[in-house]
Amino acid sequence: MAPTHPAAATPGLTLYFIVEPPNYQYIACYLAASLREQFGPGVELLGYCPEHKISEIDPAAIAVLKRMSVEVRPFRAEGRFDPEYPHGNKLLATLEPRDTEFSGFMDSDILCIRPNDPANIVKAGHVSLTPAASMNWAKQTIWDEIYRTCGMAMPDERIMLMRQKKGKKRLPYFSSGFFTFPQHHRNAEGKSFPEVWMDIAQTIDANPDIPKKRPYLDQISLPLAIRKAGLDWNMLPQEQHFILGGRSRGEPLPEGLEIYTVHYRQWPILKEVGLSGLGKRLLEKHAGVRRVTKVGKA
């Protein structure tokens, strides 16, 4: 039976995402509408935009998000990575302070399609997330240098990636597109998970002997950061973060799988699986418009 959301969500959870012009500012509105629909009013929603771009956000997007009780906050991005690393915006947003017991990041190109409950996606002492869809960009031997660079031993655990149907299990490698973590946890050195993640990412990024680390830096640093932060990983079922596209593009959603969240990557892919109409209906329900740019227009 699908869970129903209570009047006030427990445990306390803030879900946050990037609202950046030109494209993320609009799809973030559809994500926000789907979160309001499937998690209810008890979950806090926050949008983040690099401070040097916040003046470029379409006022219509700000208005639509405000109708759904979503605050848009700036964060400093310039000079934080050298060279500039747009994928790093999720690390920088994760570093920002929040008040709830748990925080959770979601890529803007996500849509929630089934009623859900915060208790399904958080766990004390853990970062909750799903395996990455694939790791075709590098051989497993790359992990030797990654862990050596960070002065850490490789974990004993091995996992199957989300789209891996055969072969040996692999070193833990997770999607950074959707994860939750205990906001106020600190490790033995007094550092939070976001602080450790940034440190690990910067350490890996500075090593020229690690090839192809861009744009995958956020994901290859994630399992190391979890452990160095004194946390463990809680692997969510793929129904909580079902990744569309890639080699499976063109295939319908699998029958018999109660999918809560789809990561569609591109709007045409959402349309191909018959969910773009749902996105528009939810936006209309929670913000009064089917298209963001129509807000305030007759």
Q: Which residues pair with 178 in a beta bridge?
A: 106
Which residue stretches of the chain have pLDDT < 50?
1-9, 298
| % residues pLDDT > 90 (the chain) | 85
Q: What pLDDT score does 163 carry? A: 82
Q: What pLDDT score does 149 carry? A: 98
Does residue 36 come out as left (phi exceeding 0), alpha (psi in the -120 to 50 range) or beta?
alpha
d(CA 205, CA 199): 10
d(CA 87, CA 109): 14
Contacts of 85 (CB under 8 A, 6+ apart): 205, 214, 215, 217
Q: CB neighbours (10 Å) of residue 141? A: 7
Write out the H or E segment, with its range, that includes residue 53: none
Q: What pLDDT score does 210 carry? A: 94
Parallel, antiparallel, or unpaired: how do β-strands 70-75 and 102-106 relate? unpaired
What is the topology classification, in CATH, of domain 13-294?
Spore Coat Polysaccharide Biosynthesis Protein SpsA; Chain A (3.90.550)
Which pTM does this prediction carry? 0.93
Q: Where do the domains of the chain lie?
A: 13-294
Half-sphere exposure of 135 (CA within 13 A, CB side): 24
Buried b (16+ CB within 10 A) or exposed e, 39-72: bbeebbbbbbbbeebbeebbebbbbbbebbebeb
Helices 213-220, 193-205: inter-axial angle, 10-degree rounding: 150
| Collapsed DSSP state (helix, strand, coil) of residue 4 | coil
Q: Which residues pair with 129 in a beta bridge?
A: 179, 235
Structural contact between residues 251 and 97, judged by C-beta atoms closer than 8 angstroms? no
Question: In the numeric block, which tokens belong to residue 282?
Answer: 């939810």
Q: What pLDDT score does 297 carry? A: 60
> From the centroid of its chain, how far is CA 140?
24
Contacts of 170 (CB under 8 A, 6+ apart): 135, 140, 158, 159, 160, 161, 164
